[in-house]
């Protein structure tokens, strides 16, 4: 085995790489700027973790997903690899210690959010770090053409001015259209970049779309007929509970999940589902990030997702064990009618956005001209209640303000308690001698928390209480006492969303919602909604092929298993014969409309087979009649 396989075997226990992983690893190791397109579950993290371990120095990993950063850091630590993350909610001293450890310690991975790149403390310290490569996760966020644009990503390329020109950049994404692929390379200033694409086709995943009025009744049929674990996605928090309770009443093991639940409750529900105690989880799109349950047999969408990108990621959580699984989307005419309403709620008018912004400044007590770089605890429900704001409008106003670069809003963070000793071992010993009542507790801290002199270490007060055989109240008392005596720095746990002002608070005259960008983002969002509608209404193109081609895969093929393919299979002809006849029909009708007889006569081959394909194309809406009663090709334009 080569050195990369040796690293894979040593730390992950695998003997070979999957798909294009090795190609990407070799490309970035050889110093090439590289873009990797790998669908959800494709093993993206391996492609930067393995080459970084083969290089001298530290790998900088940029990601907007704090929960995912923390999860990856813990996974690396469990494998004996030194890693650390910097994100909103950490104190300045924590960040200071973390950056020092990266500059002077033996850390291999530094994870941080893009907003942290532009802070003075990072810009100063990064020059002292031996950066071997930069991995940019969720790299589609750099493109205004993409579905999750974040202005902070546009600053990533500035790193090139601070790093050795030979340091390679690896951009990773699970979903990017061809124009986004080009945009990523341009915005990150790729030099002779290489692009690797993993096939978007999932051979074990069957895509089905059902036009049904009674979605709940159809859901019962799905969970009855497909054994195993499943996820049901809906758009509203209330609906998660309603449908979960409905499934429970019918005798199915189910639970609900959404971002409005406390972190403890969410973690408990997720663990019950992952362990198999709960069969079906009914959730909003808040569920799924970092989930790696391989044996999900079905993912059902009861409501229409915002885009093919979102749908592909969520549906892709089924069948990661490579066994047969189903991605089923249920829709009806009501979903189509909701389209305009969703567009308006996602893009409030600029005056409404400014109203929310000013209410936010008042809510957080931020004076005009102040607040830049400040981080605040933020409760959306409390904010909307205090200022009598519609929650959907307020949330989407904040997201637009985020895209305009005025603020950063995180989801609820689970920040556990952590401590660091602020004295050296000699001073600590003198303190223990002088304070015998704290000596036993300090010894337990030292025994349980290796590395606590050089870095912040997580603690669990309940576990300390049990280990020291003292009441929990006394644990808190001891920790606070040690902190007051400046023996440790103790940061109690906190669970709250955070809001950061990236610019000072402005008055309405100076708060600018750029109209061109606003209209472009609105237009792009509408295009993606229309593409999603196009997907569900389409009755002639293979579902898997449709999604692959949406993401620019030109060599896609029919899956033979989706609802479109199985209806076409009823014609009892080969794919080759069907496609040849279809191409001839399309070519002829695009030149000019024709009657059925003229069209059949103009195409070589068995006339009965030609008529079969024409009827199929009429049934699926690809051929329609014009005002003169002639057949014509019905082109649907998709931006």
Task: Give the tens place of pLDDT for each residue, 492-529.
Answer: 887 778 888 989 999 999 999 888 888 888 888 888 88
Residue 33 scores a pLDDT above 90: yes
Q: How many domains does the chain have?
A: 5
What does the alpha-carbon distance between residue 453 and residue 69 come to, in Å, rounded to a whole number? 24
What does the alpha-carbon distance between residue 486 and residue 233 come to, in Å, rounded to a whole number? 49
* Same domain flag for 300 and 346: no
Residue 547 lies in a domain: no
Q: Report the alpha-carbon angle 560-547-174, nearest 5.
A: 125
* Same domain flag for 361 and 260: no
CB 408 within 8 A of CB 505: no
* Same domain flag for 240 and 326: yes
Q: Per-residue confidence at 139, pLDDT binned at 50, 70, 90? A: very high
Residue 639 scores a pLDDT above 70: no
Alpha helices in 407-456 (DSSP H): 425-434, 436-448
Owner of token pair 């895209």: 403
Q: b/e per residue, 6-32, with b = 16+ CB within 10 A?
A: ebbeebeeeeebeebbbbbbebbbeeb
* Same domain flag for 330 and 461: no
Which pLDDT score is estimated for 189?
94
Residue 289 scores a pLDDT above 70: no
Its domain, for residue 600, covers 571-639
Q: Report the alpha-carbon angle 297-302-278, nearest 5.
A: 45
CA nearest 7: which of 79, 95, 61, 99? 79
* Same domain flag for 66 and 163: yes
CB 244 within 8 A of CB 256: yes
Residue 538 lies in a domain: no
CB atoms within 10 A of CB 155: 14
Residue 491: strand pairing partners: 418
Residue 536 lies in a domain: no
* Same domain flag for 156 and 64: yes
Q: Give the pLDDT mean for 591-613.
A: 83
* Same domain flag for 294 and 372: no
Q: Per-residue confidence at 365, pLDDT binned at 50, 70, 90? A: very high
Start-to-end C-alpha separation, the chain: 46
Tokens of 75: 């996974």
Which pLDDT score is estimated for 520?
86
Which pLDDT score is estimated for 617?
81
Lowest mean pLDDT among 6-15, 56-65, 261-270: 261-270
CB atoms within 10 A of CB 301: 24
Q: Identify the domain boundary among 163, 197, 231.
A: 197
472-484 and 436-448 helices cross at what angle (nearest 10)?
Answer: 100
Owner of token pair 């005056």: 351
For 242, the enclosing helix (H) or strand (E) is: helix 237-249
Tokens of 436: 């015998």
**Residues with Cβ < 8 Å from 390, sequence gap 6 or more?**
384
Q: Identify the domain boundary among 337, 359, 379.
A: 337
CB 62 within 8 A of CB 135: yes
What does the alpha-carbon distance between residue 411 and residue 398 come to, in Å, rounded to a whole number? 13
Residue 613 lies in a domain: yes
Which pLDDT score is estimated for 585?
87
CA dihedral 542, 545, 547, 550 (to 10 degrees): -120
Q: Give the pLDDT mean for 52-57.
A: 94
Residue 249 lies in a domain: yes
CB atoms within 10 A of CB 263: 15
Percent residues over pLDDT 90 in the chain: 43
Which pLDDT score is estimated for 27?
95
Which pLDDT score is estimated for 82?
93
- Which CATH number do you get for residue 504? 1.10.10.10
For 500, the enclosing helix (H) or strand (E) is: strand 498-501
Q: Per-residue confidence at 1, pLDDT binned at 50, 70, 90? A: low
Q: Is 458 helix (H, G, I), strand (E, B) or coil?
A: strand
Q: Report the alpha-carbon angle 318-322-326, nearest 5.
A: 35
- Which CATH number do you get for residue 477? 1.10.10
Q: Per-residue confidence at 626, pLDDT binned at 50, 70, 90? A: confident
Residue 22 lies in a domain: yes
What does the alpha-carbon distance between residue 609 and residue 571 come to, in Å, rounded to a whole number? 8
CB 498 within 8 A of CB 378: yes
Which pLDDT score is estimated for 637?
37
CB 196 within 8 A of CB 37: yes
Instruction: Record the pTM.
Output: 0.77
What does the alpha-carbon distance between residue 203 and residue 13 come to, in Å, rounded to a whole number? 26
Residue 248 scores a pLDDT above 50: yes
Residue 413: strand pairing partners: 496
- Which CATH number do you get for residue 12? 3.40.50.300
Burial of 492 from C-beta contacts in 10 A (0-12 / 13-18 / 19+):
middle
φ, ψ of residue 607 in degrees (nearest 5): -65, -30
* Same domain flag for 513 and 432: no
Residue 550 lies in a domain: no
Residue 638 scores a pLDDT above 60: no
* Same domain flag for 15 and 163: yes
Q: Give the pLDDT mean for 286-305.
A: 85
**Residues with Cβ < 8 Å from 209, sequence gap 6 or more?**
328, 329, 331, 535, 536, 543, 563
Q: Per-residue confidence at 620, pLDDT binned at 50, 70, 90? A: low
What does the alpha-carbon distance between residue 8 and residue 16 come to, in Å, rounded to a whole number? 8
* Same domain flag for 222 and 297: yes
* Same domain flag for 371 and 514: yes
Q: Identify the domain boundary among 141, 171, 197.
A: 197
**Residues with Cβ < 8 Å from 398, sequence gap 6 or more?**
356, 360, 380, 407, 409, 499
* Same domain flag for 60 and 142: yes
Look at 106 and 187; give whichever has higher pLDDT. Answer: 187
What does the alpha-carbon distance between residue 5 and residue 78 come to, in Å, rounded to a whole number? 20
Q: Strand 413-415 vs strand 494-496: parallel, antiparallel, or unpaired?
A: antiparallel
- Phi-psi group of 43: left, alpha or beta (phi > 0 → left; psi -120 to 50 → alpha; rest → beta): left
Residue 581 lies in a domain: yes
Tokens of 76: 């690396």
Q: What is the mean pLDDT of the chain?
A: 88
Residue 503: strand pairing partners: none
């Amino acid at each position: 085995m080569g050195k990369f396989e040796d690293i894979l075997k040593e730390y992950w226990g695998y003997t070979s790489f999957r798909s294009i992983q090795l190609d990407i690893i070799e490309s970035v190791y050889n110093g090439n700027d590289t873009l990797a397109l790998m669908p959800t579950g494709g093993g993206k993290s391996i492609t930067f973790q393995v080459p970084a371990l083969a290089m001298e120095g530290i790998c900088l990993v940029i990601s907007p997903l704090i929960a995912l950063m923390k999860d990856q850091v813990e996974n690396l630590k469990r494998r004996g690899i030194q890693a650390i993350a910097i994100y909103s909610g950490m104190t300045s001293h924590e960040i200071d210690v973390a950056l020092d450890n990266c500059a002077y310690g033996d850390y291999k991975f530094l994870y941080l959010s893009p907003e942290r790149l532009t802070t003075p403390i990072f810009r100063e310290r990064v020059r002292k770090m031996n950066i071997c490569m930069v991995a940019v996760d969720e790299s589609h966020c750099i493109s205004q053409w993409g579905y999750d644009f974040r202005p902070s990503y546009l600053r990533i390329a500035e790193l090139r001015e601070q790093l050795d020109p030979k340091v390679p950049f690896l951009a990773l994404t699970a979903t990017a259209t061809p124009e986004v692929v080009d945009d990523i390379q341009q915005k990150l200033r790729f030099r002779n970049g290489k692009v690797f694409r993993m096939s978007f086709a999932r051979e074990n995943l069957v895509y089905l779309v059902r036009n049904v009025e009674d979605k709940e009744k159809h859901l019962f049929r799905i969970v009855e007929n497909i054994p195993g674990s499943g996820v049901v996605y809906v758009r509203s928090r209330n609906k998660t509970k309603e449908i979960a309770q409905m499934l429970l009443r019918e005798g199915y093991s189910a639970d609900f999940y959404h971002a409005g639940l406390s972190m403890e409750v969410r973690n408990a529900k997720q663990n019950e589902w992952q362990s198999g105690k709960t069969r079906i989880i009914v959730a909003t799109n808040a569920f799924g990030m970092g989930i790696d349950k391989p044996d999900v047999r079905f993912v059902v969408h009861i409501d229409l997702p915002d885009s093919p990108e979102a749908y592909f990621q969520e549906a892709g959580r089924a069948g990661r064990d490579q066994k047969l699984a189903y991605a089923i989307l249920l829709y009806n005419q009501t979903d189509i009618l909701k389209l305009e309403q969703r567009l308006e709620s996602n893009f409030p008018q600029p005056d409404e956005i400014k109203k929310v912004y000013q209410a936010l400044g008042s809510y957080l007590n931020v004076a005009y001209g102040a607040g830049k770089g400040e981080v605040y605890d933020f409760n959306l429900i409390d904010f909307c209640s205090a200022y009598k704001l519609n929650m959907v409008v307020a949330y989407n106003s904040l997201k637009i303000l985020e895209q305009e670069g005025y603020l950063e809003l995180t989801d609820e963070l689970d920040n556990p308690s952590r401590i660091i000793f602020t004295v050296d071992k000699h001073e600590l010993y003198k303190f223990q001698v002088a304070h015998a009542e704290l000596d036993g507790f300090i010894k337990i801290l030292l025994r349980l928390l290796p590395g606590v002199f050089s870095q912040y270490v997580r603690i669990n007060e309940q576990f300390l209480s049990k280990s020291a055989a003292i009441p929990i109240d006394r644990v808190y008392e001891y920790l606070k006492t040690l902190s007051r005596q400046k023996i440790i720095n103790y940061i109690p746990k906190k669970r709250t969303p955070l809001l950061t002002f990236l610019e000072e608070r402005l008055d309405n005259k100076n708060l600018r919602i750029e109209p061109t960008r606003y209209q472009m983002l609105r237009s792009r969002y509408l295009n993606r909604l229309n593409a999603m509608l196009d997907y569900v209404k389409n009755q002639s193109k293979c579902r898997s092929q449709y999604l692959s081609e949406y993401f620019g895969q030109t060599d896609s093929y029919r899956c033979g298993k989706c609802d479109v393919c199985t209806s076409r299979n009823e014609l009892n002809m080969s794919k080759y014969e069907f496609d040849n006849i279809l191409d001839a029909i399309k070519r002829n009708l695009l030149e000019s409309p024709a009657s059925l007889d003229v069209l059949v006569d103009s195409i070589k081959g068995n006339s009965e087979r030609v008529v079969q394909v024409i009827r199929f194309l009429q049934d699926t809406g690809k051929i329609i009649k014009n005002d003169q009663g002639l057949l014509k090709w019905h082109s649907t334009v998709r931006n």
